[in-house]
Structure 1
Amino acid sequence: MADGDPEAIDFLTLLRGVNETAPFNRWAGFVVSAAGDGTAELWLPWRAELGQYSGFLHAALVAGMIDTACGFAAATVVGQVLAAQCSVNFLSPAVGDEFVARAVVVKAGKRQVFTTAELFAERDGASKLVATGTTILAVPA
């Protein structure tokens, strides 16, 4: 395989390195748990300082996980991207011991990448869908 061939790239190692350079991601505790061609998965363990006043995962962290997972999924297809639009649907209070965001590229163009993601709260072996989201990511010139 030639250099630059998407199949030759270890996306998981690459995105873990990128994740470590982002101060917000480090503070939040995001972990890149899976990555492939057009896909990415983030994992976040619960800790009290991530909660809002009722003890749920704060909406900013829900949106941050969706945005980051979508950006990483897009990066596996086109490289560096910038958020142009992010929309989050909060379906249920995000209560769990850990959270998993799974993102997939829906369509990648020359200038924009469209993605979608789901966020799950996990507790006692059960997984519950708590949010969905979409992003449009711009490909820098």
Structure 2
Amino acid sequence: MMQTNDLLPFIASVFQQMPFNQLLGLRVTAFSAERAEVRFQWKSDLVGNPVQQILHGGVIASVLDVVGGIMAVSSALVRLDMTDHSQLAAKLGKMSTIDIRTDYLRPGRGDEFIATAQVIRSGNKVCVCRMELHNNEGLHIALGTGTYLVG
């Protein structure tokens, strides 16, 4: 039987095991019912502009989507009475991104990047999250708004 306090570590482990997230080097470093945080290190494989040596915009959008998705899943599942991993896995398989908007504020430079998300609104079917990406020096690189199907 899965308790509510067991859900968050389980959700984080599922996201960290996704092959694409592993390819990007994403690590869930903080996770609660109120906030999610994902970090990744700079690596040359993620460059989108070889002249400027900055992150690819698709990497930035993907990371914002991942951290927003983790937050949306959390907001939906914590409200449900899940009793086992198979029920939870079935529910996770039906959740998805409906829409995401990414605003690029600065070039993606840094040694490490930190993406965070918070829920703006969570309903029975849809959850809306606000996401931000900063570098290790605290520079705000991008922000996003994501809408996720959760029900």
TM-score category (smaller protein): 0.7 to 0.9
1:28 alignment partner in structure 2 = 24
Does structure 2 retain, via aligned residues, the 8 Å contact 1:15–1:32? no
TM-score, length-scaled by structure 1: 0.87
Task: Quote the Cα distance in structure 2 between the aligned partners of 1:67 and 1:38.
Answer: 17
Asked whether the 8 Å contact 2:134–2:142 carries over to 1, the reply is yes
RMSD: 1.6
* 2:55 alignment partner, SS class: coil
Note if contact 1:116-1:134 (Cα within 8 Å) is conserved in structure 2.
yes
Secondary structure at 1:44 match in 2 = strand
Higher strand share: 1
Are residues 1:94 and 2:108 paired? yes
The alpha carbon displacement at 1:107 in A equals: 0.7
Structure 2 gap segments, 5+ residues each: 78-91
Q: Distance in 2 between matches of 1:108 and 1:9?
A: 20
Identity of aligned residues (%): 25
Query: Structure 1 counterpart of 2:40, which letter?
Result: L
Q: Secondary structure at the match of 2:110?
A: coil
Give the equivalent residue in structure 1 for 2:65. Answer: 67
Secondary structure of residue in 2 paired with 1:94? coil
Higher percent of residues as helix:
2
Aligned to 1:9: 6
Letter in structure 1 aligned against 2:147: I
Q: Which has the higher contact order (CA 8 A, sep 6+)?
A: 2
- Structure 1 unmatched ranges of 5 or more: none
Question: Would the aligned equivalents of 1:66 and 1:101 in 2 still touch at CA under 8 Å?
Answer: yes
